[in-house]
Amino acid sequence: MGYLKSIGTVIIYIGFFLTVITFLPGIPPEVEISEYSIKYPNTQTEFKSRLEEIQILFSGEVNGPEDFASFNGKIYTGIHGGYVVQIEENLIKPLVKFGQKCDGLWQEEKCGRPLGLKFNDKGELFVNDAYYGIFKVNINTREYINIVNSSEPIDGKIPKIVNSLDIAKNGDIYWTDSSTDFYLYDGMYSVLANPSGRLIRYNAATRKNEVLLKNLGFANGVILSDDESFVIVSESSNSRIIKYNLKGSKAGQQEIFAEGLPGVPDNINSDKQGGFLVSLIILIDSNNPYLIQSLIPHPYIRKMLLRLFYLIEAPFKLLQDIYPNYYSERVLHALGSLNVAKCIQPNRTSVILRMDKTGKILDTLLMKNVSDISSAYIYNGYLWLGSPWNEYIIRVSLKQVFPDLADNMKSSDTKEEKQEKPFLTVSATPNVKIEAKSKKVTAKQEEVIKSSLKSTIKAQTIQKSNSDATISKSTTPKSTNQQSSSVSSKTSSSSSSKTSKEVMKDNLKIEKDDSKEIKKDNFNSQIKSETSKKVPNEIKKDNSKSQTKHEISNKNNEAKMKSNQPVKKDIHETQFEKSKLVKKDDNSNKK
């Protein structure tokens, strides 16, 4: 009985304490917490799971690649630590950092945190840093300008979480401020408090900001329609998307684009066909309810939790002010950040919704084995999946996950995407860029080419000494043979001209008179191939040029008789036979 009495006493004390912190005025944080309602997610949505093969890129090299932007064969993302990085081939290069030098991710407000990023038509990169504002970056010089300072109030309130953005053709920037009450390191507080997010337009001409929408539930992804007649913004806390009309009879008015989404919406990207790809970072259904949304109708519970979290943090804040240390910083960062929301939601399956311009769901992608996906970005035939917490980038074939998108992709894609393929190739040799129009060269051909180059350089160095040229006579046929085989691996348009040049370089080892005769023989053997109807047109052109410069001798007539049979062979065999004939003439001249 005494044991049960003790438990009962503890429960009473805890209840009394929680009641006091809930109703006693003046306890921070002082924010509005009241009851409001939302339409709860539709748990009857049918999901399709086509995620069979995925590619994990840069595992352990990136942390929190939130969103993506691409330009001119490169793709960019922002990561924890404050860096915007550039991805080209299989390399990651830091581009810029807007924050200060920091010791670790627990000093996020010092490091900076790049979230949304977008290119304009001029190739200028615009980046939203959650703590520092909006920046315009020159990706070539790495210089940047702070065009929106987050420390300056907009409509009387400071933007505390600068999140996503999109850019209009006239240069205006539409961006989201997720909260005016809490910074990102206290993101958990912002989802428990009443909505305070905003949709803001930055006027590029006047350099002024205008608030278009207020009181959004953690305003997140934002994107303009293709014709820029409206802009949509996602509300993560409320599982819905709001539409703001920019043109037409409803200009300046808002309406619900989609609500009751089966998850927590994050970033919104274009599907390249006039629609949108909406990333649901957490799936919500009957088996996976979202705890934070279930607390929305209960303002006193939310207030109690807010104040309880604050009181737990208070002694660590005091300790950090008196004696700054690593441990108190880590505790403060862990308690208030959105990582807490990740911990209380164990099942974090993600979903990608494909929606048309009216808000209708056209297709779905359920990712059972992939979690915490915040963005789905189409690039170069792949779907790039970003995350605020994952330490890698996921890439999947677009044809695998959205086959209709891959089949019906518009031919009017951006110019940079047409120039970009392939930019990332799986190769045994790292850091080797393979051009889209480059021709394949086998390993054997590559070795032969290298050896022929070496022999050519050697011939040039020996040219100065006649004695060295005499000694090198015995090695000339071998180098000539290497050159002929290397030339045969190249394109037919330049094969005959390059063969003659390489033979001339090797014959510099011999006397000048002999080299002249060898050149004549080489040209005449090419003239011979002009007489054959089966010789490629490109070889005929080279032979016609040489015919105007040289006369046919008796020796060349013999070469023509010997080379009648090789003419019937393909291009590579013809070139090989030519080199053999040149070798024979070389030997006769030497004798």
Instruction: State pLDDT tens for residues 176-198.
Output: 999 999 999 999 999 999 999 99
Helix, strand, or coil here: 321?
helix
> Pick from 531, 541, 529: which is nearest to 570 by CA?
529
Beta strands in 357-410, from DSSP E residues, in sequence order: 361-371, 375-379, 382-386, 393-397
> Pick from 376, 364, 359, 164: which is nearest to 259 by CA?
359
The set of residues, in sequence order, having a beta carbon less than 8 Å from that of 528 and lying 6+ positions away, is 556, 559, 560, 563, 564, 567
User: Amino acid letter at 232?
Assistant: I
The pLDDT value given to residue 209: 98
User: Amino acid letter at 191?
Assistant: V
Enumerate residue ranges in the chain where pLDDT < 70: 1, 43, 410-591
Q: What element of type H or E holds 144? A: strand 144-149
Asked if 173 and 167 count as a contact pair (C-beta separation under 8 A), the reply is: yes
Angle between helices 512-530 and 571-590 (to 10 degrees): 150
pTM above 0.75, yes or no: no
**For the chain, give me the number of helices (H) and strands (E)?**
18, 24
The order of strands in the sheet holding 208-216 is 162-167, 173-177, 197-203, 208-216
The pLDDT value given to residue 529: 41
Helix, strand, or coil here: 376?
strand
The pLDDT value given to residue 114: 98
Q: How far apart are CA 95 and CA 137, in angstroms?
A: 9
Q: How far apart are CA 378 and CA 52, in angstroms?
A: 18
> Pick from 284, 293, 268: which is nearest to 191 by CA?
293
Asked if 498 and 453 count as a contact pair (C-beta separation under 8 A), the reply is: no
> Pick from 87, 63, 11, 19: which is nearest to 431 by CA?
87
Domains and their CATH numbers in the chain: 52-410 (2.120.10.30)
The pLDDT value given to residue 286: 79
The pLDDT value given to residue 451: 52
